[in-house]
């Protein structure tokens, strides 16, 4: 039972944002075409819309990662657009950090993460 709760906690921390944001996209689409389900409808419809929203959010993330505006890879050298966004957000020019990514990943993976017991 403890493992089930732990898995559910990780799901909420990682994927709840995808369910909410994808459901917002699906809900906007349904609202635009006047196809919203009634509040008295079955909870199954809302659960299916949440699942569809989860799929839509992941599809949007992966589709936008193909444009190179959004990336899911390690960012070692940002392109000009990302540097411009950084400058607009922080009011400072981009500076190289000078970090060896492989060494940092090795240090992180060597550390033992304590379990939630």
For the stretch 32-74, pLDDT in tens is: 998 888 878 778 888 888 888 888 888 888 888 888 777 777 6
Question: Based on the domain organization, do 32 and 64 belong to the same domain?
Answer: yes
CA dihedral 47, 23, 17, 101 (to 10 degrees): 120
CA-closest candidate to residue 15, choices 59, 74, 57, 65: 57
- pTM, whole model, 2 decimals? 0.52
Question: Based on the domain organization, do 81 and 67 belong to the same domain?
Answer: no
Q: What does the alpha-carbon distance between residue 37 and residue 27 come to, in Å, rounded to a whole number?
A: 10
Q: Would 116 be classed as within a structural domain?
A: no
Banded model confidence at residue 112, pLDDT cuts 50, 70, 90: low
Question: Based on the domain organization, do 51 and 83 belong to the same domain?
Answer: no
Q: What does the alpha-carbon distance between residue 17 and residue 77 come to, in Å, rounded to a whole number?
A: 27
Question: Based on the domain organization, do 50 and 78 belong to the same domain?
Answer: no
């Amino acid at each position: 039972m403890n493992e089930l709760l732990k898995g559910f906690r990780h799901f909420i921390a990682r994927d709840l944002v995808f369910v909410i944001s994808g459901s917002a996209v699906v809900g906007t689409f349904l609202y635009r075409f006047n196809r919203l389900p009634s509040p008295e409808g079955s909870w199954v419809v809302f659960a299916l819309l949440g699942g569809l929203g989860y799929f839509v959010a992941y599809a949007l993330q992966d589709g936008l990662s193909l444009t190179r505006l959004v990336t899911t890879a390690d960012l070692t050298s940002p392109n000009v657009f990302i540097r411009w966004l950084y400058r607009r957000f922080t009011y400072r020019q981009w500076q190289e950090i000078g970090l060896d990514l492989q060494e940092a990943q090795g240090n992180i993976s060597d550390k033992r993460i304590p379990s939630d017991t």
